[in-house]
Amino acid sequence: MILVTGASGFVGAAVICELARRCIPHRPVTRMPREGCFHIGDIHSATNWTQALKGIETVVHLAARAHVLKESVADQANRSSLSDVGATMNLARQAAQAGAKRFVFISSIKVNGEATPPGRPFTAEDPADPQNRYAQSKFDTERGLFALSAETGLEVSVIRPPLVYGPGVKANFATMMDWVNRGIPLPLGAVNNKRSFIFVGNLSDLIVLTAAHPRAAGQIFLCSDGEDLSTTELLRRIAQELGRRSRVMPVPAQLLTFAAAALRRREVTSRLTDSLQVDIGKTRDLLGWTPRWSVQEGLQETARWFQGADLALDPIARSA
């Protein structure tokens, strides 16, 4: 039996669908009452997980606050208790005491850093370089979990995804799709970066695999769709899937960076102009995992959902 926190969230809902598709017993956990889910209430360092953990062998911990384009230092400092180190450690300790065997923690590629040099993607073995409080809290949680594993024998697996997209996406990716759909001219037509993304169907597939694979214990995994795109190319492909005209203007990236610095919005522009690539070689080799959906398929599904088309497919219900 697998317990999944954050089951009503964007990624959590996809994981629940994937578990159901594979007929794997699971227990969805949500903060708010929801039919078919275990209601836990607020998740913090004193949450009592006793009832939720009965009969559980594996915990997949997804409950967390997503980062957003306009996140400020104050926002980071006041982040939700869901992403608090103490809240996750409390759950993990109780899981170990209840007899659970494995704990899968969904972290963030931000633990590795905010950007990569051209042609030098992050790897799972790279030293951590968290650059804001959100990333630091993820890294602190990872270290706490591995320490707990050494103490109790609870198997810990960590997944650090880049930006996740797919039907139901919010935050950064939804903002970009809205820009394109509304035909807003964007000064991003000369951005020559490379960024990794992962479709929610691919991420949920990897999470379910990691929850059971014997070689996943004690490991950190990076993931992506296996095809990196520049911001310019991403916007053009989104426009194509939405049936919209691509309206990206070739403004030099250096000028964008200068303007952003003058407006004190460097962190926003950097996510659009810097590169952030990940190497998924370890994930492929150790787990035998390959992305089930291509970038094109992922964008098609996301565009159908965004437009509210009746023929939109459930990305998890699809089988190869």
| Catalytic machinery residues | 134
Cα separation, 277 vs 195, in Å, equals 5
- The count of other CB atoms within 10 Å of the CB of residue 287 is 19
Closest residue by Cα to residue 253 from 232, 239, 228? 232
Per the listing, tokens 């492929």 go with 284
End-to-end, the C-alpha distance of the chain in Å comes to 25
Is residue 289 a contact partner of residue 283, using CB atoms and an 8 Å limit? yes
150, burial (CB in 10 Å: exposed 0-12, middle 13-18, buried 19+) = exposed
Residues 6+ apart with CB under 8 A from 2: 19, 24, 25, 26, 27, 56, 57, 58, 59, 60, 211
Per the listing, tokens 């931000």 go with 110
Is residue 12 a contact partner of residue 62, using CB atoms and an 8 Å limit? yes
Cα separation, 161 vs 174, in Å, equals 17
